[in-house]
A and B are shown apart, each in its own frame.
Chain A
Amino acid sequence: MKRIVTLETRDLNKSVKTGGCGECQTSCQSACKTSCGVANQACEKESK
């Protein structure tokens, strides 16, 4: 596309079927302890 560049991203709609295993780190258990961000959490499902 001439005017639009699309970055490669995980399709959130598709993750409805593949996600939800809950093996990822709990959100606050890292560096912040005083806010909530989930975007920086790595997915830890063994087979995505």
Chain B
Amino acid sequence: MKGFNMIHQYKLNGYNIVLDIFSGSVHLVDEVAYDIIAMFKSHSFEEITKKISKKHSVSEAEIAECLEDIKELEKSGKLFSEDTFKEIAKNYRRENIAVKALCLHVAHICNLNCSYCFASQGKYHGDRAIMSLETGKRAIDFLIENSQNHKNLDVDFFGGEPLMNWDVVKEIVAYAREQEKIHNKNIRFTLTTNGVLLDDEVIEFCNREMHNVVLSLDGRKEVHDRFRKDYNGAGSYDKILPNFKKFVEKRGNKSYYMRGTFTHHNTDFLTDILHMADMGFTELSMEPVVCPPGDPCALTEEDLPTLFDQYEKLAIEMIKRKKAGNGFTFYHYMIDLTGGPCIYKRVAGCGSGTEYMAVTPWGELFPCHQFVGNDEYSMGNIYDGVTNTALRDKFASCNAYTRPDCENCWAKLYCAGGCSANAFNATGDIKGVYKYGCELFKKRIECALMMKIALNEE
């Protein structure tokens, strides 16, 4: 049916919302316009007039006026826009093979023993290891050598727990700062930490050098301590919370995220987000757990309605708090409608295995941090470069149009085709679809757009 795949209509929090998928336009409409738009491409104007007159108390003249408005929006490219982006998606990664982001696994060790960790307590199903300074420096060289003319480059210190190799982190940063000047690059660092070793010296360094810092906190003490324990089995909440508070206090306006993971055991994760917000943390992220189906903490089909409800309630609460002057940010509800990503970013996939790769402590390259430890996904190393070019080509071909399931999905320009690691974990193929994740993703985008409308009304 023509028009069917061009728009997405939904009702949320009392708003009737129409998204024009391929122009990115967002419309707030009343009940009459909502019903007319739903029939616009599949019914004649006479049929629409008849049906609308029967359902709503509006005159034929009013219906005709609304039909004219819709025609005008269509003409101006804001409604029923055609999809013309498939070729862009196909070619972009093929033509752009520069590397611009590395996730440095500086420590395959951790001082916590979280049973839900996708990295198997930081070891990635392998041996404990830490990155040497020599390897770290070579990784920076590899990044710069392969970055072509890109100026902005990203480096993430990841683990395990990167603070367990802190001296090397600092020296890699110092080396990168020298090199970026020589090569006219702008390297932005991110550190992801569990907070155990977050002391004054680390805080001071991070506030000077780290563009972003990701702090792992799952929410309420009992939720956090269920999984995030030390090797003696003691929960880490009481140890890390003062460190996080001190860090955020000194962070000023620089970027950070308090990032939690929710599981089957806390499907009421809104309480955990609000727990963080009520402690004064304002930059928040909460992710569904990544684990094999059947694991006790895995999210289930039965959990979905609860999770949808939590996301909706979160959006409504955020609107309320924003209006009251004590708002907070939720990573997945951040959408910049006017200054956000261009179409290339929206269709070209996440960049794993192409512009983004993970580097192990011994310098081996993987498509992303979630593939580390899976030998079939080894891409090469920072000394010889990407040698498994067939694998790179496979990742380069992942985009918003690769998967048949995405063909009719209204959200594909918001996820760019989704996470290849999630697809692999769910189906055994990076070109599969993690349907459960898609359902959550779509709900989050619906909530985020609704929030834009609600706050736009102010």
Contact = CB atoms under 8 A, between A and B. Distances in A.
B437 interface: yes
Interface string A25-41: 11111111111111111
Q: How large is the interface on B (under 10, 10 to 19, 20 to 34, 35 or more residues)?
A: 35 or more
A23 B28 CA distance: 32
A7 B77 contact: no
Nearest to B152: A23
Interface string A1-18: 111111111111101101
A13 B76 CA distance: 12
Q: How large is the interface on A (under 10, 10 to 19, 20 to 34, 35 or more residues)?
A: 35 or more
Contact of B341 (A2, A24, A32): A24
Interface stretch (B106-114, B302-310, B347-355, B376-384): B347-355
Chain A interface, >50% SS class: loop
Contacts, number: 216
A18 B287 CA distance: 33
Contacts of B226: none
Given A11-B24, A12-B24, A35 B335 contact: no
Interface of B: 22-30, 32-33, 62, 65-66, 69-70, 73, 77-78, 81, 84-85, 88, 92, 96, 98, 100-101, 103, 118, 150-152, 154, 156, 158, 188, 190, 192, 212, 214, 257, 259, 285, 287-288, 290, 331-332, 334-346, 349-352, 355-356, 368-370, 413-419, 421-422, 437, 441, 444-445, 448, 452-453, 456
Top 7 A-B pairs, shortest CB-CB distance? A19-B342, A26-B101, A31-B257, A15-B342, A40-B334, A3-B33, A20-B344
29 contacts: A4-B66, A6-B73, A7-B26, A9-B337, A12-B23, A12-B343, A12-B346, A12-B413, A13-B77, A13-B343, A15-B343, A16-B84, A19-B345, A22-B100, A23-B152, A24-B345, A26-B355, A29-B101, A30-B190, A32-B332, A35-B287, A35-B288, A35-B441, A37-B441, A38-B345, A39-B413, A40-B332, A41-B341, A43-B342
